[in-house]
Amino acid sequence: MATFAATLKAQMQAQGINQTQLAAAIGLSKSAVSQLVNGVTNPSKPTLELLAAALGCTVGELTSEEAPEATLDLERDVPVPVAAKLIGKPEEFVRKALIQGTAPFGFAVKGEGRYSFSISPHKLAEYTGKGVLV
């Protein structure tokens, strides 16, 4: 039986995201993310939803009994931090391009006070000329 912390670590590894990147993506301190990753604390429901969105998975996958495999699912969206790393630009640059509709590899949808980002792994791979795994 995998713990939440083990599942979170596996999802982070699968997406190529470190604690600092995840903290920035969800608006928490690196210390708070470290506590989650090390099993010191468990996330609130809103934090769990932010984690799932940032990692490109569902809340159910984060709270499941089995840790995911350490591969990037090419049928899912690529997280903004991973896309930024692949194209060698800051995350804010990628977010703005998605919001403005100038990114050929994805788009943004405005929800209740924030944006949701969708980045196609296939289109990102075409754009960068690189594989999606980092």
pLDDT at res. 70: 36
* 118 phi/psi in degrees, rounded to 5: -125, 115
Q: What is the CATH number of the domain that holds 19?
A: 1.10.260.40
Looking at the domain assignment, is residue 70 inside a domain? no
Q: Which domain holds residue 24?
A: 4-63
* 21 phi/psi in degrees, rounded to 5: -65, -40
Q: What is the mean pLDDT of residues 57-86?
A: 67
* 110 phi/psi in degrees, rounded to 5: -80, 125
Per-residue pLDDT reduced to its tens digit, 91-131:
899 999 999 999 998 888 887 778 888 888 888 888 887 65
Asked if residue 87 and residue 53 are part of one domain, the reply reads: no
pLDDT at res. 45: 87
Identify the CA nearest to 77 among candidates 105, 101, 96.
Answer: 105
Per-residue pLDDT reduced to its tens digit, 78-96:
888 888 888 888 989 999 9
| Gyration radius of the chain's alpha carbons | 14
| Single-letter residue type at 32 | A
How many domains does the chain contain in total? 2
Looking at the domain assignment, is residue 28 inside a domain? yes
